[in-house]
Every structure is written in C-alpha cells, then in structure tokens.
C-alpha cells in the first residue's frame, strides 16, 4: 500500500474520532487498542478519552501490567474493572459462540460506564482483517452499538503496525493479543486451573525469548505454536528438555510442536 492511501485512512480515522467527540475504549494493551487509544488521545485530548481495562482469569497478568504501563505513558485516564467470564452462563462450556458472551459482558460494562461518566461512544479495536475469521464478538458489538473506528477507516493489521511505528509505539511489532480462552478447542471446558496451566507455559516461552507463541490445550497434550523463524530454536536439546520439564510440571503429560507454526485462529481450522 502506498503512503497516500495509508495517510488517507489515517485521516479518516481521526475524522471519525472527532465526530464522536468523547469515547470509552475497550483497552487490552494489544496492537490495535493501543494504537486506537494513542490516536484518540492525540485527536481528542485526555479529558475526552477513557481507557477501560477489564481484569479476568482469561487475561494474563503480564498483559494487564503492560496495559497499565502504556496507559500511564500516554497520560490516559484508565478505569480498571473486574470481570470473570467463567461465571457467564455458556462461556466455560466453550461452544463456538463463546467469544460473544465475553464481548457482550465487556461491552455492557463499557456502555454503562460511558453513560455514567458522560462519554458519547464506546469503541473497540476491531480492524479490517478481523472480518476474515470467526468473530462472534462482532455480533455483541453490533447489538450494543459499539463502534470500530479502525475497521470503519479501512485499516488492517499491517496498516496499524506501520502507523504504530510512525508514532513510536512499543506495540508496533507485538504479537496479536487474544485472551487465554482461545487456547482451548471448542467443546473443551475452560476452568481457572486450566487457564493457569496455559498461562504458566506461555510465560515460560516468553521468558525464553520467544516473540510469537501460543500454547494450545488438548487435555494431556500441550501443542506449541511459535513463529516459523523460531521453530529452529527447538533443535537445541537443552531448550527442549527445559520446555518439557516446565510443561510437565504445569500438568501436561505430552508436549508437541506444531510444524505449521504460529497463526491466529488456529482453533477455528476444525
């Protein structure tokens, strides 16, 4: 994409924000919501933007802490609320509409806070590429009149990364964020213990220097996805032994490496 087209999309995004006037942003600290928060603050000012972050068992502590640091660095007004998706009827059973229940609760909280505090609109970080995957959370956004300015401006993930680099955002090259519930095949019950199990293993991979990774839960098997250029690290015997020992200590019996590598939405392939 040439710079003229990208600049036009960026200008469209700022125009949408100006039209909205004051906004609550569902803020996770991922690539998309971080970019949206920064542009909203630059466009509207800190007094007319609220970053709402919901803590939950499906939200890794590392991601939460990073989101708080980013909001503070931007001088953003941030509101942290507690949420527990495992208590939502139908969520823990993990059917294909699971994400709908999660997003419906989050967006309901955002909408209530927007009304209480006098903000005109609720925004999320959905972008054009999200239309290419199974995203039942989009239905919740539509029902609750949540706006998606990045999508409306025609911005895709690579556009957002490019613009994030221009703005000097530390999330420009961060892996795509998805809550821990996305690590479980549909129909596999999601429990607090299983979430902790996956979180522990992903934390270990991050501490070993992996940049793009997922640990998919398959009962006694942990299926590791890492970026294609990082698969070769597993030829190191010491690393393999360390990963195997840690994953077994976390509760898995077998540890498998997915040779297709990391990809978003792999649980939707079936």
Per residue in 93-134, pLDDT (tens digit) is 998 888 888 899 999 999 999 999 999 999 999 999 988 776
CA 44 to chain centre: 24
3-state secondary structure of 10: helix
CB within 8 Å of 138: residues ≥ 6 apart: 126, 130
Q: Is the pLDDT of residue 176 over 90?
A: no
**Mean pLDDT throughout 45-70?**
95
Same structural domain for residues 27 and 131? yes
What residue has token string 């892996």?
A: 175
Please indicate, yes or no, whether residues 93 and 135 belong to a single structural domain of this protein: yes
Q: Is 29 left (phi over 0), alpha (psi -120 to 50) or beta?
A: left
Structural domains counted in the chain: 2
Cα–Cα distance for residue pair 35/38, rounded to 1 Å: 5
Residue of 99, 102, 110, 179 marked catalytic: 179
Residue 186 lies in a domain: no
Q: What is the CATH number for 147? A: 3.40.50.620
Of residues 10, 26, 54, the one with CA closest to residue 161: 10
Is it the case that residue 136 has pLDDT exceeding 90? no
List the domain range (segments joined by +) for residue 253.
191-268
Asked if residue 115 is part of any domain, the answer here is: yes
This prediction has a pTM of: 0.90
Question: Which of 212, 171, 217, 211 lies closest to 194 in space, CA to CA?
Answer: 217
Same domain, 98 and 131: yes
C-alpha 6: how far from its chain's center? 23
Please report which confidence band the pLDDT of residue 16 belongs to, taking 50, 70 and 90 as the band edges. Answer: very high
Return d(Cα 71, Cα 266) in angstroms, integer: 30
Residue 112 lies in a domain: yes
pLDDT above 90: percentage of residues in the chain: 82
Q: Are residues 137 and 68 in the same domain?
A: yes
Given a contact cutoff of 8 angstroms between Cβ atoms, the answer to whether 149 and 156 are in contact is no
User: What are the phi and psi torsion angles at 26 (to 5°)?
Assistant: -70, 105
Mark out the alpha helices in 149-191 (DSSP H runs): 149-152, 157-166
Do 48 and 159 lie in a common domain? yes
Q: What is the mean pLDDT of residues 28-40?
A: 97
Report the share of the chain in percent with pLDDT over 70: 97
Which CATH number does the domain housing residue 218 bear?
3.30.70
Q: What is the pLDDT of residues 208-220, one digit of tens each?
A: 999 999 999 999 9
Q: Is 179 a catalytic residue?
A: yes
In a domain, 180, yes or no: no
User: Are 130 and 40 within one domain?
Assistant: yes
Is residue 147 located within the same domain as residue 195? Answer: no
Output the six-digit token pair for 53.
């972050």
Please provide residue 56's backbone torsions phi and psi, each rounded to the nearest 5 degrees: -165, 165
Asked whether residue 181 is domain-assigned, the answer is no
| 130 and 220 fall within a common domain | no
- Kindly state whether residue 182 falls inside one of the protein's structural domains: no
How far apart CA 112 and CA 205 sit, in angstroms, is: 38
3-state secondary structure of 153: coil
């Amino acid at each position: 994409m040439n710079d003229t087209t990208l600049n036009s999309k960026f200008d469209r995004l700022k125009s949408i924000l100006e039209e909205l006037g004051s906004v609550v942003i569902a803020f996770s600290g991922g690539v998309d919501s971080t970019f949206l928060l920064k542009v909203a603050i630059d466009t509207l000012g800190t007094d007319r933007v609220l970053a709402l972050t919901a803590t939950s068992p499906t939200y890794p502590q590392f991601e939460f802490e990073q989101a708080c640091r980013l909001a503070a660095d931007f001088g953003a007004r941030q509101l942290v609320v507690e949420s527990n998706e495992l208590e939502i009827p139908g969520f823990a059973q993990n059917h294909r509409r699971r994400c709908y229940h999660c997003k419906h609760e989050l967006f309901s909280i955002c909408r209530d806070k927007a009304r209480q505090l006098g903000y005109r609109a609720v925004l999320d970080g959905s972008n054009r590429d999200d239309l290419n995957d199974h995203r039942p959370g989009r239905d919740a956004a539509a029902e609750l009149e949540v706006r998606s300015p990045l999508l409306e401006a025609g911005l895709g993930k690579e556009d957002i990364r490019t613009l994030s680099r221009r703005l000097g955002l530390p999330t420009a090259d961060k892996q795509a964020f998805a809550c821990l519930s996305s690590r479980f095949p549909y129909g596999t019950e999601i429990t607090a213990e299983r979430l902790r199990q996956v979180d522990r293993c992903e934390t270990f991979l991050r501490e070993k220097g992996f940049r793009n990774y997922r640990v998919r839960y398959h009962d006694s098997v942990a299926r590791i996805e890492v970026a294609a250029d990082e698969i070769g690290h597993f030829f190191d015997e010491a690393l393999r032994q360390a990963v195997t020992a840690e994953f077994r200590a976390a509760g898995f019996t077998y540890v498998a490496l997915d040779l297709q590598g990391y990809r978003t939405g792999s649980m939707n392939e079936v």
